A and B are shown apart, each in its own frame.
Chain A
Amino acid sequence: MDEHILDDLALNNALSGTNSHLKLLLGISSILICVFSPSFFTPLVVGISMAAVTVGLAKIPLREYITLLMIPVTFAASGAIVILFLTGGGDPILSLSLFGATLTATTGGANLSLLVLSRTFGGMSALFFIALSTPMIQIFTVFHDLKFPREFIDLSMMVYRLIFIFIGEAIAIHNAQVMRNGYNGLKNSVHALSMLCGALFIKAWVRGEEMLIAMDSRCYDGKFEQCGAKQTIGILPAAATGAYLCGCSVLAVVFSGITLF
């Protein structure tokens, strides 16, 4: 996958012009609702609606979205299986014998693993909503408006810029190694990877020195220009966000008792 893909989508989606305070509020509040909801139901609703907003309103291509979402969901699913068999409580619903040992899934385990799965799904799709609809630069502007320390913002802006240079360097070194059979076999791979890491460390160091010279050449005096135009908040998006968050909170309270078994 192209290393620019997340950034590209964030810059060129249908919602990139919408007020970023609002988008961050929506995303972060949704995550909080998912985390604090005692039932699996609300996170599931949040997950599905956030995915629908990201694909439907922000016009993120469905294929790319599913590919991205599958990464955390796969992790969560494997975790959920472990929880299903290791957590006790309630009545047994399924027994498996594996290498002579018996694994039993109980209703308590099933409830807990479904909750973990739906919270991960809900939280991740809310996070992806932020990541895919808001350009990084606008997030820095929000930090600035929220009076985050200047040093923190300046540093994160440079980190953001340098990540892409770093990835570019890593890909170049990796290609050079692959071309000379660097990753043939386990022993070779370990050796090549260690060389990659060493070379990257030194390159990062050299780059840092060069950047310092470049900054000095332009009279660096501890100041960094802030960016981002002021965005107005539209009534409709604000009302929709408010309604959505209230609705989800109500759902979380009303259906707090719902469990699978």
Chain B
Amino acid sequence: MDPAIQFVDVRYAYPGGPLSLTGVSFSLAQGSKVALVGPNGAGKTTLLLMCNGILRPDEGEVRVLGKPLAYDRSSLREIRKKVGFVFQNSENQIFAPTVYQDVAFGPVNLGLPQDQVQRAVRHAIFSVGLSGYEKRPPHHLSGGEKKRVAIAGVLAMDPEILVFDEPTSSLDPATAAEIMDLLDELNAQGRTIIISTHDVQLAYSWADEVVLLSAGSVLHQGSPESVFTNYPLMDRARLTIPPILELFLMLQERNISISKTPPAGVLEMTHLLEQAIGCRRTGKIGQIFVADADQATGDDTREHISRHAISRVGAMGTVAKIFAERELIPLDFTYGVIDKALLRAVLGEHTLIITSGGMIGRVSRRVDEFSREHGVTITISLV
């Protein structure tokens, strides 16, 4: 399979400025979740703007899905259909007077017929969870809602690759986590997601692959663990180590080894520590129930909640959240749902995850992986 995006020795200088990219080469696999990490002025945004041909390298080549970018009008149209770009500041991206018109902008300019435009727009607005907001003017929306509109505007063109410049900057932490969950959902549909960020914790916990940029060149490309456990590399890139990793490394330095591989998050860290201090959990392990929002009914779900004594309910993905809202099922978790459910299961509580489509598979994969790594058996049952 061709890489989603490939940079071949790309050099670029802004007019009248010094070189801002000094020979960048790397490639990103299709379907991956990539974080471009680096300090301010490392060239992250410049690099991202090359993915859909807004900027043209002075030297070198950018390839999208195996094909080198051409910069004539019709090729650029094709590329921009394939590579969706979400700006850091949603305010710059939303220029129409209503949400509907803004989301419809792309499809209309692609020349789609009216009924297809409507379908694409309705679907995109639904996917980001903003159904019912169609007629609102953008200046009456909150920051998180504006970000969702910006994402919907790009989704309406059904791109294979999505590029986000600092997707969580200027959002509150819960909204940021929800946006990142939305990105996961889009990735589960098979789209390649590329984000730029200097939030090391976010990059560590979310990405499959990290590209570390500094002063216009690639310092390192690899798994999040390989990048963020490397002190000299972090220093050179003016970044800090994510707190959870720093704790792990500090413990290691004091010869308290809790595991060979660094923990992926708070959940793993808690579990490893618990094992390391020899506190064996003897109590009952909770079960995780999964409900398919496409098939379940509200009454069934409520019945399951009371029959299995389920103490917490989480919803993953837009379909599930809309389902819960419609059926008046109170939600305890709306982001980071699987990890929170696992944490509860270890404590002996039963949880229900409402989700749909490809994300059902993701729940079972994640739970299996956790069970295998930590030697606990958590059963999942589809209700």
Contact = CB atoms under 8 A, between A and B. Distances in A.
Interface residue SS majority, chain A: helix
Contacts of B154: 218
B292 to A, nearest CB: 34
A216 B108 contact: no
B92 A225 contact: no
A157 B140 contact: no
Interface stretch (B17-25, B109-117, B375-383): B109-117
Given A219-B77, A219-B157, A214 B93 contact: yes
B109 A157 contact: no
B77 A4 contact: no
A102 to B, nearest CB: 55
B85 interface: yes
Contacts of A220: 105, 109
A216 B52 CA distance: 10
A218 B140 contact: no
Given A137-B135, A165-B91, A217 B96 contact: no
A251 to B, nearest CB: 38
Contact of B96 (A4, A165, A216, A225): A225
Given A162-B95, A165-B91, A216 B101 contact: no
A158 B95 CA distance: 6
B97 interface: yes
Interface string B80-119: 1100110101011111111011001110111100000100
A121 interface: no
B138 interface: yes
Nearest to A211: B95
B276 interface: no
Interface string A158-193: 101110110010000000000000000000000000
B263 interface: no
A161 B80 contact: no
Contact of B137 (A137, A217, A225): A137
Contact of A164 (B76, B96, B100, B139): B139
A215 B77 contact: no
Contacts of A162: 95
B382 to A, nearest CB: 39
B54 A216 contact: yes
A214 B87 CA distance: 8
A225 B140 contact: no
A169 B139 CA distance: 13
B153 interface: yes
Contact of A161 (B49, B95, B108, B153): B95
A221 interface: yes
A223 B97 CA distance: 14
Nearest to B139: A164
B52 A224 contact: no
B98 A227 contact: yes
A247 to B, nearest CB: 34
Nearest to B73: A221
Contact of B81 (A4, A215, A219): A219
Contacts of B98: 137, 227
Contacts of A227: 96-98, 100-101, 135
Contacts of A161: 94-97, 137-139
Contact of B100 (A11, A222, A225): A225
The 4 closest A-B pairs by CB, nearest first: A225-B104, A164-B139, A218-B106, A221-B109
Interface of A: 4, 7-8, 11, 136-137, 140, 157-158, 160-162, 164-165, 168, 207, 210-211, 213-227
27 contacts: A4-B139, A4-B140, A136-B97, A137-B98, A140-B97, A157-B97, A161-B137, A162-B95, A165-B91, A211-B92, A214-B95, A215-B95, A215-B105, A218-B80, A218-B105, A218-B106, A218-B109, A218-B154, A219-B109, A219-B157, A221-B77, A224-B96, A224-B108, A225-B108, A227-B96, A227-B100, A227-B135
Interface of B: 49, 52, 54, 76-77, 80-81, 84-85, 87, 89, 91-98, 100-101, 104-106, 108-111, 117, 135, 137-140, 153-154, 157
